[in-house]
Amino acid sequence: FQRVLSDPRPRLVPLVDVPWADADPARAAAIRTSGAHTLVVAPLTVRGAVLGLVSLYRCEDSDPYTEDDLPVVEDMASRTALSIDNARRYVHERAIASTLQHRLFPRGPTSHGAVETAHLVLPGAGSGCWFDTIALPGARTALVIGEVAGQGIHVAITMGQLRTVIHALAELDLEPDELLARLYDTASRLVQERAELPPSDPLRRSMPAATCVYAVYDPFSRTCTVASAGHPAPLVVGPDGAASVAGLAEGPPLGSQERAPSVAASTFPLREGSLLAFCSSALQAHAESSMGALRRVLTEAEHSPGHHPRHRPDGRPGRSLPELCDEVAYALPATVDLQGAALLLARTGSIPADRFGIWNLPHDSSAPAAARGLATRQLADWNLDGDTGYATELIVSELVTNAVHYGLPPLELRLVLDRVLMCEVRDASSVSPNLRYARTIDEGGRGLFIVSQLATQWGTRYAPGGKTVWTEQSLPPEQTSG
């Protein structure tokens, strides 16, 4: 063995006598018991590295090995070593890809504004699915699930690219249909870039088919707006246990050769306490068994007779979402291959009445003063004074002044106290406000600049009825909502 490792070359060893019997008595006893009479030891080598040794024995009445057998054994050992090395490299790559994919998952159950979420990922290779919950201005929440067909590091790379683009587009506060339209454009550019790579690059192959569904829940209108790029619509379960699949027009998968049509979004109302279940294709592919089990758990778990009442984190009766995820995992059929399947659950809620204020304002010169007075009283009720109160009053005054000068009636002011302090001013104009850097002699043009300095974030959201200019201000830990 030592000589084979040092050369490395195969060796033919007659076993008439075993000189190393005292050093390895167990092996020597096995050789005698089996009646082995010749041994060939060959190295398993790949690119000059020895992975191990293979020992071949001839026993009892079989013909003994000869020197003519060594080339055959050497070739066999070389092919075996190559297969072992390929398997080892595949396992290594799969471990890297799996680690990267799991880094794309949320760390645990989350709560954004009026939405509580939890997820379930079944172990196994499966396909490259990811999901996200993204906090949006106006106490809204984006719910995302996507999937890239295939396995391996290249799938994980595509997952990371698409997920990053979605986060960047979500920061622009786009409507779901517009966001997916831009995601289609991004996927097309990725396909084009990969087609221009050198032929030896594995990424040169066309981008694997990817799907995505993007939903936005608004707790004030209690509506959910959803758009899909080739991904199945979510399952909606009302607080009374009634379940249905959201009506949704699916576009083609991302990166497909099919020309993407204009993306259509669907908006539907949701009662407080409704459940949204976003599933990966592994669950959807077994609609009768897997989706049946999912429906049964979500519709019966909190409404079955004799069920011992529990309380969710918000204090209301019913099972928490992590408990429901566990229940789904146990209820899924063991006879169906669901490796890598993913489920994102979201329970909708509302903003408590004492955490927001909404006021209609006159569209005239009296509006800024009226808005400041309303904001001052509301901030006093929330015990927000000092620098935070002063900054908020100034922000409200500047936004309302801009809306009076450049917007159209009706005019609305909204303040929301949640994880941050949100201020929104809505009017019926679609003209976008511009941040200017006024000169010393200019009498105006400093409003949005002042707002940008006082707010942590600010932006504009457009809707068919006009636009909303919003700001967010960070709060001390003791002032944030639970």
What the block records as the tokens of 407 is 């917007």
End-to-end CA distance of the chain: 67
State the pairing for strand pair 223-229/210-218: antiparallel
Strand order in the sheet with 466-473: 356-361, 411-417, 421-427, 466-473, 457-463
Strand (E) positions, 137-242?
140-148, 210-218, 223-229, 235-237
Identify the CA nearest to 18 among candidates 41, 44, 38, 40.
38
Identify the CA nearest to 207 among candidates 172, 256, 173, 163.
256
Q: What is the pLDDT at residue 92?
A: 82
Q: Angle 339-344-347 (CA atoms, 0-180°, nearest 5)? A: 150
Helices (H), 432-476: 447-454
Cα 453 from Cα 473, distance rounded (Å):
11
Match 């506060």 to its residue by tokens.
173
- CATH architecture, domain defined by 2-95: 2-Layer Sandwich (3.30)
Distances from the Cα of 211 to the Cα of 186, 190, 227, angstroms: 13, 15, 11
Q: What is the pLDDT at residue 412?
A: 96
Confirm if 236 and 244 have CB atoms less than 8 A apart: yes
Cα 248 from Cα 19, distance rounded (Å):
78
Cα 21 from Cα 28, distance rounded (Å):
5
Identify the CA nearest to 394 among candidates 317, 313, 449, 352.
449
DSSP for 105-142 reads S-SS-EEETTEEEEEEE-SSS--EEEEEEEEEGGGEEE
Length of the chain: 482
pLDDT in tens, the chain (482 residues): 888 988 899 999 888 777 777 888 888 888 888 889 999 999 999 988 899 999 999 998 899 999 999 999 999 999 999 999 999 888 887 777 777 777 777 666 566 768 999 988 887 665 678 889 999 998 999 999 998 887 777 888 888 889 999 999 999 889 999 999 999 999 888 888 888 888 877 777 656 788 999 999 999 999 999 999 989 899 999 988 888 888 888 888 888 766 556 788 999 999 999 999 999 887 877 666 778 888 888 887 545 444 444 445 444 446 789 889 988 888 888 767 777 788 999 999 989 999 999 999 999 999 999 999 999 999 999 999 888 889 999 999 999 999 998 899 999 999 999 889 999 999 999 887 766 554 444 444 567 888 889 999 998 988 888 999 999 999 876 655 44
Burial class (CB in 10 A: 0-12, 13-18, 19+), 321: buried
Q: What is the pLDDT at residue 223?
A: 94
Domain boundaries, the chain: 2-95, 104-348, 353-479
Per CATH, domain 104-348 is 3.60.40.10: yes
Cα 386 from Cα 383, distance rounded (Å):
10
Helix (H, G, I), strand (E, B) or coil at 92: helix
Largest CA distance in the chain: 111
Please name the residues in contact with 384: beta carbons below 8 A apart, sequence gap of 6 or more. Answer: 392, 417, 421, 475, 479
Domain 353-479: what homologous superfamily? Histidine kinase-like ATPase, C-terminal domain (3.30.565.10)
Cα 458 from Cα 113, distance rounded (Å):
18
Q: State the virtual CA torsion across 398, 402, 404, 408 in degrees, nearest 10.
A: -140
Cα 338 from Cα 326, distance rounded (Å):
15
Please name the residues in contact with 254: beta carbons below 8 A apart, sequence gap of 6 or more. Answer: 162, 183, 184, 187, 209, 210, 211, 212, 229, 230
Cα 152 from Cα 447, distance rounded (Å):
51
Confirm if 343 and 120 have CB atoms less than 8 A apart: yes
What the block records as the tokens of 269 is 């109302």
What the block records as the tokens of 409 is 């009636």
Q: What is the pLDDT at residue 347?
A: 93
Q: What is the pLDDT at residue 276?
A: 94
Cα 404 from Cα 360, distance rounded (Å):
13
Identify the CA nearest to 295 among candidates 347, 247, 339, 234.
234
Q: What is the pLDDT at residue 30?
A: 87
Q: Residue 134 carries which side chain, given as an amino acid letter?
A: I
* 407 alpha carbon, distance to own chain's centre: 38
Cα 136 from Cα 132, distance rounded (Å):
12
Q: What is the pTM of this model?
A: 0.78
What the block records as the tokens of 331 is 């209820």
